[in-house]
Chains A and B, each alone.
Chain A
Amino acid sequence: MIRYIFRRLAAGVVLLLVVTMVVFAIFFLVPRLAGIDSDGLAARYIGKSPSPEAIAAVKERLNLDEPITVQYWEFVSGLVMGQEYDSGADVIHCDAPCFGYSFKTNTEVWPQLMDRLPVTGSLAIGAAVIWVVAGVSIGVLSALRRGSVLDRAAMMTALAGVSLPIFFTGLVSLALFSYYWPIFPPGGSFTHFTDNPLAWAHGLVLPWITLAFLYAAMYARLTRAGMLDTMGEDFIRTARAKGLAERRVVTKHGLRAALTPIITIFGLDFGLMLGGAVLTESTFSLPGLGKFAVDAIRGNDLPVVLGVTMITAVFVVICNLIVDVLYAWVDPRVRVGA
């Protein structure tokens, strides 16, 4: 088991390294291939009227004329060992993990990411709890009562949930429950959990449900399909033949096996979501990572875009790692294989 975890961990690190290369290439190599030279790149960091002097100075400051390998090395070493930026009068120490420095706003990227992470984290965790509990239980019930009215109604709702985009369900729920019946606060209201847990939850109910609706629908369908599959397996028959109670057969044997694909996909979904639920955050004007990234893309603030991409990648890798470990724990067949 230890060796298994260790191997996965090493693979995760390699994966992250590859991600840094790809991300770096997208932002620094692709513009060059598109015919934009270092002057053009430098001009991105300058205000309305980039003078040749300013372009030269910025190129020097950002090492834009260095070979691409040197620039990449500086980017990666900054992540691991931190970096120093010259603010002119002072030297700013950007401690590891240094995700860079936004020359648009003259601020370090990392603290800004950390500022927004609680928002996205609150959104993701709350929504995940709802969609996993709702999705899996509906899926199991549907599978056990296959063909019943409950099954059909649940699957119809799930189809609607999968088909309706978040900005639609989000706006409709805002219109109904915030403006028409002012039960929940309108968009843009986020209170930190530590400031007031009640207000925190109150403000997030609508985004949670909107986001969870989509995912719960997918998970319900997945669980249902998985359960139907497993319940027909030989080991279920064996379990029943041993005389186990049906409840135990379903939870201990059936669900446990059906859960593996769910856990896999949950790891990916949840990791991605921690990197920013762009649509939900935009619809509800929540100041999270997703909205941050969108604003940065609009404003062409590359270090910020890079930072959000990296942090998303990190979350996906970490969640996958946890999933792989859970996987081995939930499904004995995986352990044997490893």
Chain B
Amino acid sequence: MSKKWLGLAAAGTSVAMLLTACGGGGGNESGSGGSDISVDDSAISSVVDESTEQGGTLKYAHSDQFDSLDPGNTYYAANWDFTRYYARTLVTYPQKPGDKGQEPVPDMATDLGEVSDDGLTWTYTLKKGLKFQDGSKITSEDVKYAIARSNFAPEVLNKGPNYFFQLLDAGGYEGPYKDENLDDFKGVTTPDDRTVEFHLKKPFAEFDYLAAMPQTAPVPADADTGDQYQTNVVSSGPYKFESEWTPGQQLNLVRNEEYDPESDPLTRNRPDKVQVQFKQEENDRDKRLINGDLHVDVAGLGVEASARQDILRSEELKANADNPQTGFLLYFAINPNVKPFDKKSCREAILYAADKTAMQGAWGGSIAGDIATNMLPPSIPGYKDIDPYGTKGNKGSKKKTEAALEECGMPDGFSTNISYRSDRDKEKKTAEALQQSLQKYGIKTDLKGYPAGTYTSEQAGSPEFVKREELGIIAYGWGADWPSGYGFMSQIMHGDSIKPAGNSNLSELDDPEVNDLLDEAAVTEEAAGREKIYADVNSLAMESATFLPYLNQKALLYRPESLSNVYFSEAYKMYDYSALGLEQN
């Protein structure tokens, strides 16, 4: 830690103490993130420093780098948030704090999608006068091409999701790189320059959420350079690449003169320039964020431990911090294909024995997350606060655990393994906390750590490996691809999503009732009807006793004073980057 900074922080604290000297008492927490510490949080429910001012250079930093800057080849919420600077989509999320920010609004399209009576065709009409950065017209063909390349050419672009591939009725179309005739792609048709029609294999009620993914951003076919397109994306938004970008180097965005703010439902053109520095050391990044040299940590995951302490110790810094839930649910999957978890009561023994307060403590206390009692994050529409395996104070129940072990046929306990990602310190500590609470009941566990980089592709995500290595309890976490129950649950609960490698349904849940309900939700047009289904799926998943949810993760975000129009976007689960501006003095 830099001495200089310690001094600054101390000065800050003393100023704050002087100012609040008459207030007396309180605010004496140790800053460890233990008890009921709270920060300002005003950017969660409102827009902080609303302003219409333009100008300045907005500086972002990333501790690593994006998976890709290509809107058609990325799967990180931070990047979906960020690409809105240069890639407009058919539909997008409005610039509003709170739940309203999760409801899609048309962006390039004149309206939300219009669905045919059979539910199989979704139609969008482009606004008039939309242009690329070179002044050429954006047509329906450019959107069609974008879908074709991002979803049907997995040999070239495979970092993003492939929902369009799964849903569109495209026959054996091989993608634009193998089949140069775009007319062969029947999944999307373009009756005229402004109409885009999506043809589905089966109805999908939440299609507008897919249309909000960066994959629907138009790409001119003649500018496409495959996996190199990320070095020179053709902009449809308010900013464009200043020059060709080299991965790992600083990214500079400048104003796109061809962009017409009149056609845009969002105001996303406040700064004159946008900069992103990659591979910035985390603690250094936090220091610069707090002293104002940087404006935003673009990954949006919050500050590291050292800066967290500084912020929680200082009233002045707390006043510029937010501690929202990230929509990320942390849980342990209990795999029924590993003995003795083929018996439900044996799984229940784990659920009753777990001390969730200890796990919360291991993760970093209340600042790091709220205790989770079921398998939906609270911000998802339709969320119901259920707790089927609840225990008093979330500390586990001796009576219930012993009864479950009795029924399991192993009253003295049993042995199994807990897997976790060895390079994630908090996950390891949480696994240790679980290990300790299980030990009390004679349930012996061995901790098995695997690298995060291959965890989903090769170890926890390979059912064969899980069975062979007897990984009965698997640490994992999940966030929704879009703010709905389907977006959250389909990948981790639907039987059809079990895969031989890269599996995310780690509980290997294949319950016909769950599968049917999720399939039904996909064809239910009424949002209220879908929300009811999601609540049901949530209860069923909990009843299966294959999930041990323990934390709704929270992030500690810091917003430097120089930023204006700051609010937490419930759609992306971080500050809405498109809205940010800089205070002009």
A residues sitting closer than 8 Å to B (CB atoms) are: 31, 35-37, 39-40, 42-58, 60-61, 86-90, 92, 104-107, 112, 175, 179-180, 186-188, 285, 287, 295, 298-300
Contact = CB atoms under 8 A, between A and B. Distances in A.
B457 interface: yes
A187 B281 contact: yes
Scoring A48, A104, A299 by chain B CB atoms within 10 A of each residue's CB, the highest score goes to A48
A55 B230 contact: no
B227 A88 contact: yes
A259 to B, nearest CB: 40
A298 B423 contact: yes
Given A36-B458, A43-B457, A44-B457, 18 more contacts: A39-B501, A40-B501, A47-B160, A49-B162, A49-B491, A50-B158, A50-B501, A51-B499, A57-B153, A88-B177, A89-B177, A90-B225, A107-B246, A107-B247, A179-B2, A295-B279, A298-B453, A300-B453
A54 B158 contact: yes
B502 A55 contact: yes
Contacts of B99: none
Nearest to A282: B281
B98 interface: no
Scoring B149, B154, B451, B500 by chain A CB atoms within 10 A of each residue's CB, the highest score goes to B154
Contacts, number: 144
B154 A51 contact: yes
26 contacts: A31-B458, A40-B454, A40-B458, A45-B158, A47-B67, A47-B158, A48-B75, A48-B161, A49-B162, A49-B502, A51-B158, A52-B499, A55-B501, A57-B155, A87-B228, A88-B149, A88-B157, A88-B225, A90-B226, A90-B228, A92-B228, A104-B67, A106-B228, A106-B247, A179-B3, A300-B453
B368 to A, nearest CB: 22
Given A40-B458, A107-B247, A187-B284, A60 B155 contact: yes
Interface residues of B, number: 55
B468 interface: yes
Contacts of B156: 86-88
A37 B159 CA distance: 20
A35 B165 CA distance: 30
B500 A39 contact: yes
B162 A54 contact: yes
Nearest to A31: B458
B454 A105 contact: no
B337 interface: no
A43 B462 CA distance: 11
B185 to A, nearest CB: 15
Contact of B457 (A40, A92, A187): A40
A192 B220 CA distance: 38
Contact of A87 (B158, B159, B227, B461): B227
B64 interface: yes
A88 B248 contact: no
A57 to B, nearest CB: 4
Given A87-B227, A88-B157, A50 B64 contact: no
Main secondary structure of the interface of B (DSSP, over half): loop
B154 A57 contact: yes
A44 B454 contact: yes
Scoring B156, B225, B468, B504 by chain A CB atoms within 10 A of each residue's CB, the highest score goes to B156
A241 to B, nearest CB: 62
Contacts of B423: 298
A39 B463 CA distance: 13
Interface string B173-214: 000010000000000000000000000000000000000000
B225 A89 contact: yes
A47 B225 contact: no
Interface string B442-474: 000000000101101110011001001000000
Contacts of B461: 43
A50 B499 contact: yes
Nearest to A92: B228
B392 interface: no
B248 A299 contact: no
Contacts of B154: 46, 51, 53-54, 56-58
B5 to A, nearest CB: 9
Contacts of A49: 75, 161-162, 491, 502, 504
B224 interface: yes
B399 interface: no
Given A51-B165, A89-B177, A179-B2, A43 B155 contact: no
Contacts of A285: 281, 284
